[in-house]
Amino acid sequence: MKRDGWMWLLALLAGFGLGLVYAWMVAPVRYVNTVPTTLRSDFKDQFRAAIAASYSATHNLDRAKARLALLGDADPVQALTAQAQRMLASGASFDSIRQVAALASDLKSGVASALPTATGTPTAIAPAISPAAAIETATAPTSASETPTAVNGSPTAVASTSAPQIFDTPTPRPTYTPTSTPGAPFKLVSQESICNPDLTDGLMQITTLDSTRHQMAGVEIIITWSGGEEHIFTGLKPEIANGYADYIMQSGVSYTVRIDDSGSPVPNLAAPTCPGANNQTYLGGLHLTFQEQ
Amino acid sequence: MTLGIALGLFYGWVISPVQFVDTTPASLRADYRADYVLMVAEAYHADQNAQLAAQRLAIFGSDPPDSIASQALQTGRSAGYAPNDIALLQDLTRAMQAYQPVPTAAGNAP
């Protein structure tokens, strides 16, 4: 009797093990219809870059927001900003960095801005939002047979349905008003020395404005000095300002700053020496403001 | 043993199934794939850079870019995409059909 009990238990365990092998290795649950939230992080980066490239072409901020929501980032602005910095560090193309930074900046401000384009002309406005971009899926798929349910306007978590329900109501088109002449040169409109011991020593702060004095994100700034060159972009610190960028100057080094390839170089920029406490001195900073002409 | 197998399957499929957290774009649902392709089409419409568009479509694996664009076009049609979106996807599909990959420098090296 006791032996039968052991046999039962052994058979049960063996069966359990066989079941696990079948469930985990032979025929595991397959998610073939996954959602973007489950993508590997590098693929999410590529998705964000594509969203930014699309946004730079269409200036459709609502559509870009809906698409970014699909990736499930807690803070899309932060995710874009961090990605722009990663791209900068990895030597990605300036155009793609500029697109990502500009999208982060526009998301933060909530206003679609005009970007300088390669062709120099504003591009087409995007049409109505597509069904896929209107779907908000806050959770991972619960069923491989889940069907898409597009709810336009307010993203809503949707449950599985037996048949697709598509409500294709066009979203309002953004009113795109060109605010500047794309590719117009920038001009230095103000330069001031900053003596503030609370700031990082040698901090060069740069602000870029468009012709209507709105801050511009995604503007490339080229800083050169004897034996070196650095490229930075505005918009990577939207927590400070959309058109802001900064750089740490070294003592005794003369820098030349120019905006993109279109601006006139501003030479002979150096960190000022500021009087500090107890007759000590410290390295001050500069604040340069460039405006598109 | 049958009871054990049933328990094992229940545990492996329901209680603790294999988790797919780092998926690839190829496994995305068709409408998400189509929306990504639409993004590429929107960017292509602005920059007319077929090579860049093909590179962006390569995220889906080794399928030819014209095939990826064509599938997205079909998905867009069946999902009721707006006419402008369909037109963009058609443009991209045509561009990808005409696109010839540029040999890389490494490929030309002796």
Predicted ipTM of the assembly: 0.81
pLDDT of residue A154: 33
pLDDT of residue A183: 56
Strand partners, A258: A222
Q: Is residue B38 less than 8 Å (CB to CB) from chain A? A: yes
Residues 71-130 of A with CB under 8 A from B: 117-119, 123-124, 126-128, 130
pLDDT of residue B19: 65
Among the ranges given (A26-30, A161-165, A190-194, A277-281), the one the predictor scored with the smallest mean pLDDT: A161-165
C-alpha to C-alpha distance for B24 and B35, rounded to whole angstroms: 15
Q: Which of B81, B74, B28, B75 is nearest to A130 (CA)?
A: B81
- How far from the centroid of its chain's Cα atoms is residue A280's Cα? 42
Q: Is residue B11 less than 8 Å (CB to CB) from chain A? A: yes
Chain B CB contacts of A20 under 8 Å are 8, 11-12
Q: Is residue B28 less than 8 Å (CB to CB) from chain A? A: yes
C-alpha to C-alpha distance for A233 and A268, rounded to whole angstroms: 21
Is B81 within 8 Å of A131 when comparing Cβ atoms?
yes
Q: What is the pLDDT of residues A80-108, one digit of tens each?
A: 988 988 888 888 888 899 899 989 988 88
pLDDT of residue A51: 96
Could you tell me the domains of chain A? Answer: 36-166 (no CATH), 186-292 (2.60.40.10)
Among the ranges given (A19-23, A229-233, A282-286), the one the predictor scored with the smallest mean pLDDT: A19-23
* Region of residue A245 (phi > 0: left; psi between -120 and 50: alpha; otherwise: beta): beta
Q: What is the pLDDT of residues A34-45, one digit of tens each?
A: 889 889 999 999
Closest CA of chain B from A69, distance in Å: 12
Q: Is residue B15 less than 8 Å (CB to CB) from chain A? A: no
- How far from the centroid of its chain's Cα atoms is residue A222's Cα? 21
pLDDT of residue B30: 92
Residue B106: pLDDT above 70?
no
Q: What is the pLDDT of residues B3-44, one digit of tens each?
A: 888 887 888 778 877 666 778 898 899 999 999 999 999 999
Collapse the DSSP code of A12 into the 3-class scheme (helix H, G, I; strand E, B; otherwise coil) and give the result: helix
C-alpha to C-alpha distance for A80 and A236, rounded to whole angstroms: 9
Residue A161: pLDDT above 60?
no
More confident site: A236 or A135: A236
Identify the top-confidence range among A10-14, A66-70, A206-210, A226-230.
A66-70
Closest CA of chain B from A146, distance in Å: 9
Closest CB from B13, B25, B42 relative to A54: B42
